[in-house]
Structure 1
Amino acid sequence: MTVKSVKTVFDIQQVLKGFGTIIYTGNRLADLELMEEELRELFQTKLIDVKVFQQALLLLKSEQEKEKRKNN
């Protein structure tokens, strides 16, 4: 699967969906953390390239921080 860039959480969901992974727990923070774990596995097994991985990771970390601030 070739992905050029990841700009939104939806883009990350589409990347994961391309590998048969759909994440929805009903808890946004938990979803973001699970997406991060899945992306790390895909990267470690060389199924996604470093650019996509880095973009997705930065986006997920940013979204996780927003969610944590919102919940506090």
Structure 2
Amino acid sequence: MGFTESGIKRLVERIKEASGIKFHVHKLRHTFATLMLEGGCDIFSLSKMMGHSDIKTTTIYLAACVHHLREQILKHPLN
């Protein structure tokens, strides 16, 4: 049994109202993409998961991972 986009939006709206937390549904996509990249997912796979027809759209989420990327660089043995 799958979820429709409109069904998910309605569910999230109900949760928002019940919790009193203000956020936009798109923030969930942004969080998903950022966590996937920080977890090591490659940009090509993430692009497919998110349904982006152009990988340039997916690269927007890379900017949110700058802090994570810096941490990864510091782990390099030559650092």
TM-score where L is the length of structure 1: 0.34
Higher relative contact order (CA 8 A, sep 6+): 1
Larger gyration radius, structure 1 or structure 2: 2
